[in-house]
Structure 1
Amino acid sequence: MTGSASPTGESTAGDASGTAQRWPLSSLELDDLVEELRARADSARVSQQRLGSLLDAVIAVSSDLELAEVLRRIVVGACTLVDATYGALGVLGPSGEELVEFVTHGVSDEERAAIGPLPRGHGLLGMIITSPRPQRVGHIAEHPDSYGFPPHHPPMTSFLGAPVRIRDQVFGNLYLTDKRSAPEFSDEDEAILIALAAAAGVAIDNARLYEHARTQQLWGEVLGDATQALLAGTAQDEVLAEVTAHVRRLAKADSCAVALRRGSDVVVVATSESEGVDMSEGSESVHPAFEKGEVVRDPAVLAAMLGPARIEPTGPDGSRATVPVALGETPTGVLVVDWAHEVHSDLLVHVEPFGRNLAVSLGAASARSDRARSELLEDRDRIARDMHDNVIQRLFATGMSLQSAAPMSPPEVRAKLDRAVDELDAAISDIRHTIFALHRVPGSRPLSAEIATLCGDAAVTLGFSPELRISGPVADVPEAVAPELLAVVREALSNVARHASASSVTVTVVVDDGAGDEGDEGDADGGDVRVVVTDDGRGIPDGAVRSGLGNLARRAESRGGTFRVASATGSGATLEWRVPLVEPRG
C-alpha cells in the first residue's frame, strides 16, 4: 500500500482496488514538521550570522599592514568565529619543518612564561606541518599522534587546525582548541576556519610586502644620510659610527662593526653595541665584540671580504653576519653583525646590498676628497708661482739696488742700507719657506719622502747628491713642526749651494720620542727632533751676513728649541736645529 500527503494536510492511501483513502494528519506530526521548519530557519539564520562574522573577521584582518598586528588579529578572529577557548598561529621557518614563531590567544603572559620554550612542531602540531591539510580531533589525549603537554600547560580537549598558505607556499598553521559551546568542533567550524585561513594568507602576503618595502626604505635612508655626510666632508670614522648604530637597530642585533683596509691591515673603524648583552671574551652565545682600532685577525672575517655575504651560527644560540664592503671586484672592508640569538638568512636581502652601496659611497667620498686635494694643490702652486715670480724677484731687485748704492753713501747711511738689505733677505727667506709650505698638503706624503725630495732637488744646484740619514719615528713629527723642519733643510742646502763651494753634504734628521733612557739628551716631556747639516766647504767667514740663518734661529726659539752653527774658515760648517715635539707650555 502506498500513501501520500494531500495539499490539505490529510494523509492519503491506496487500497487494493486502487481507490484513494484519506486519513487526518495527527497534531503530533504537525508539531514535528513545524519544529523542523523552525530549526532549519534558525540554522539558516545562524549560518548567515556566522557568514557575516567571517566577513567582519576578513575585513579586520586585512585592515592593518603591520605583520605582527595582522597575525594577532588572525588568531583572535579564528577563536571568535568557531568559539574556541585557545588559539595560536605557528609560523614555519625557512626549512618548512619547524615553527619559529608562535602567536597565541587565550593564554596570559604569565602562563606562557610558566610553560617555557615555545613549541617546535611536535604531536598534533607537527601533523599539519607534515600533512598540510585541515585536521579535526575530538579528544587530543586519545589521538595516536598526541605528544602531551609540558608542565604548567592548561588542559585541552578538542582540536581544530588548518594551514595558512601564501600562493603555493605554507606560511604557517592555525591551531584552535576547546570549543566553548560544544564538546568538539563541527564540519561547519572547519569550513569557516578554512575560509579564514585563505583570507589570512592574502593579508599576510600584503603585510610582508609592505614590511619589505618599508624596511628597504629605512635601509636606504641610512645609506643616503651616510653618503650625504661623507660627501659634505664629515670625518669617515664619525659617519661610520652612525652607520653601525643604525644597522644594529634595523637588524635588531646586539653588536655591529665596520672594518676597512688600512694599508696591509684590516682595521675596525667603527663599532656599536646594545646595552645589557654579554659580549665579553668568555660569552658562549656570541663572538666577542670588536674594539675600535683593533686589527682584525679572524680568518673567517678576513675571508668574508671576498664574499659572498652569509649568516652563520655562533655558539649554541648566537648568529653572525659577515657582509663584504667591496667596490666592484676590489675588497674595501667588511661589515660584521652579531646576535645573541638565532636569526635566519632573510636579513641578507637588506644587509648584502647595503654593504655594496656603502662601498660605493666610501669610494665616491674618497674620489671627491682626492679631487679637492688636487684642486687645492693646483691653487697653492699658482699662488707659489706668483709669489716667486713677482714678490721675490722685486724684493731681490730692490736689495741689489740698495747694495749697489751702499758704497756711494756716507757711513751712517751705508749701515742703514746694510740693515735694510738684511731685512729684505730675511723677508725673501720667509717667503721661500711659505712657498715651500704651500706645496705641502697635510697627510699627502710621508715626511721622510718630503725630506728625500728636497735633497734630490738640491742635487741640481749642488752638482752632487747630498747624503741623507734619517733615524727615529719620523711619522711622529707633528704637522706644526714638519714645515719648520723642511724649511731648515731647504735653507741649509741652499746656503751650501750658494756660498760653501762644498764637494759633499750630509743631512741628518733624528727624531727622539722621549722613550729612551733617563740620561738621554732627548726632551723629557715628549722627545724632540734634530736636524744637522754638515758640509766640507770653505766655511762661514767672519763678518758674513747671516740673515737667513738668523731667521732659522728665531723659528727654533719660538718653539722652545735651539739653533747652532759651528764653522771654521776652510774646514766647512755644521748647522744644528733642534726643537721639542710637544708644543712648549705658555
Structure 2
Amino acid sequence: MNRDAMNREALNPDAMNPDAMDRDVANRHEVERDEVLHAVSSAVLSVTRHLSVREVLQVIVRSAQRLLDARYAALGVPDDKGAFAEFVAEGITDEQWEAIGPTPRQHGMLGAMLREAQPVRLPDIRKDPRFEWWPRAHPVVKDFLGVPIRDGEAVLGIIFLSNKRTPGGFTEADQELLTLFAAHAAIALTNARLYERGRELALVEERTRMARELHDAVTQKLFSLRLAAQTAGALLTSAPERAAAELDRVQRLAGEALAELRAVIVELRPAELDRHGLAETLRKHVRLLDRIHPVSVVFEGSVRDLPENLEPEVEVAVLRVAQEALHNALRHSGCSTVSVRLERGDGGRLALEVRDDGTGFDAAVPPARGLGLASMRDRAEAVGGRVEVASRPGEGTTVRMEV
C-alpha cells in the first residue's frame, strides 16, 4: 500500500479493516463498562459508610434511584406478619406519604416478588395480573423494575424503581445493573444489622455495669444518708450540736448521691437511637404523642436534611430537649397544635424547633412552674449548643435548640 492510500485510510474510519473496527467497538464497550462499574462502586461506597439499618436502607434507595435515573424508588423489608418492618421511598414528599396512608402490606406485586424472589421488569405494571391496586393519593406508576435483596436463600427485602426518566422504560441492562447493586446492598444491610446487634449486646452489658454502679455507689450513699438522718433525729433534743453535724453530713451525702445518679443517667443512651437514628426516633415519638393526645402533634424533618455523623451525646441531648419541650407544650400551654422541626441550620448546625399555638407567657419573666427550661439549657450547653425560648402571652411558645 502506498503512502497516499495509507493516509486516506487513516483519515477514513470506514476504511478500517474488520479487526480494527472490532477493537474499536470493544474499547467503547470497555469504557462504558468501566463507567457503569464506577457508578455502582460509588453507590455501594455511599451505602457502606453508614451503620444504622435505617440509614443504609435510605441510602440504598437513593443510590439506586440515581444510578438508574428513576422518578420513584422504594425498598421494603418484610416482617413475619404480612406487612413490612421497614419501608422507605424516594421521590415522594412527606405530604404525599401522609395522604397515601399506612405502609403497604405484602399484597399485589410486592407480595408476588417476596414469594417468587425473582426480578420483575414491566413496561406497565398496571397491566400485569399480579397488580392489584394502590391508594388514591399514590402517584401513577407505569414502567417498573424490581429486584429482591437476598442473603443466600433468604430475602432481606425488595428494591423497586418506577417511571424511568429516560424514554423507553427500563432495559435488560438496567435489570442486570440493579441486580448487581442489590447483591452489594445485601452485604451492607447484613453488616448494618450485625453492627446494630453488636451495639445492642454492648448496650445490655453497659446497662448491667451501670446497674451495678447504681447498687454499689448510689444505694450505699442513700443507706448512709438514711442512717445519718435517723441519728440526727435521735440526737436532736439530747445533743443538738451533734445533730447539726449529722444534718450537715446528710446534705453532703445527698449531694454526692445526686451527682452520681446524674452521671449514670447521662450515660444511658436510649436504645431507639441506636436502632433508628435521631430523626426516626423523634418522628416515632411524635407519632405516639399524636395518637394518645387530643392535640395535633406533627413532625417535620428528614434524615437527608441533617448533618451526617452526629455524636451520640448530641443525639441524646437533642432528643431529651425535644421530649421536655413537648411535655411542656402538651401539659401546660393549652394548645391545639404542636409542631416539631428537625433540620440543618446555619453553618451546618443541627436545629431543633418545638412550636405550639398555646397561651404562651412572658419570656422575660421566668414562669413559676419552671417548665424545665434550665434543664434544657444545661443539656444543650453540655454538648456545645444553646436553647432559646420565644413566647408572648396569647401567641404560643417556640423552643429552639442549635448545636
The structure with more radius of gyration: 1
Larger proportion of helix:
2
TM-score scaled to structure 1, two decimals?
Answer: 0.35
TM-score scaled to structure 2, two decimals?
Answer: 0.50
Higher RCO (Cα < 8 Å, 6 or more apart): 2
